[in-house]
Every structure is written in structure tokens, then in C-alpha cells.
């Protein structure tokens, strides 16, 4: 699981758009932002799963 996460994040880092304002070339900064995005996705997924459960 951890290897998959690292591979996926590295792939996304290497495939950033060059002229995009949200591109970051510092891998440390990219990793920080990537983890925040991942946390948000997991949180939204968990929230939607819980809201469906209570209906």
C-alpha cells in the first residue's frame, strides 16, 4: 500500500503541467500538498459513506 502511494505520487509529480500556476517543483512541498489532497478525498469519501448509511 505504501509503495503504491509513493509510486502514484511520484508519477503525479513528474507529470505536472509546466506552465500551470499550481505546479510545484519542490518535491517536499508537492508531497505536503499531495497528502492534504489525499486526506480531503478520504474524508469526503468517509462522510458520503456515513451519510448514505444513515438514510
pTM above 0.85, yes or no: no
Q: Comparing C-alpha atoms, which of 13, 17, 41 is closest to residue 28?
A: 13
Kindly report, residue by residue over 14-51, the tens digit of the pLDDT. Answer: 988 888 887 888 889 998 998 999 899 888 887 676 66
Contact 30, 13 (CB under 8 A): yes
Kindly report, residue by residue over 2-15, the tens digit of the pLDDT. Answer: 788 788 888 989 98
Q: Residue 49 has what pLDDT?
A: 63
Hey, where are the domains in the chain? Answer: 28-55
Q: Residue 55 has what pLDDT?
A: 54
- Roughly how many angstroms between the first and final C-alpha of the chain, as a whole number? 32
b/e 42-51 (16+ beta carbons within 10 angstroms → b): eeeeeeeeee
Amino acid at each position: 500500500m505504501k509503495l503504491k502511494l509513493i509510486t502514484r505520487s511520484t508519477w503525479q509529480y513528474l507529470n505536472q503541467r509546466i506552465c500551470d500556476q499550481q505546479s510545484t517543483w519542490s518535491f517536499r512541498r508537492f508531497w505536503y500538498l499531495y497528502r492534504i489532497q489525499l486526506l480531503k478525498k478520504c474524508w469526503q469519501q468517509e462522510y458520503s459513506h456515513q451519510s448514505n448509511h444513515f438514510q
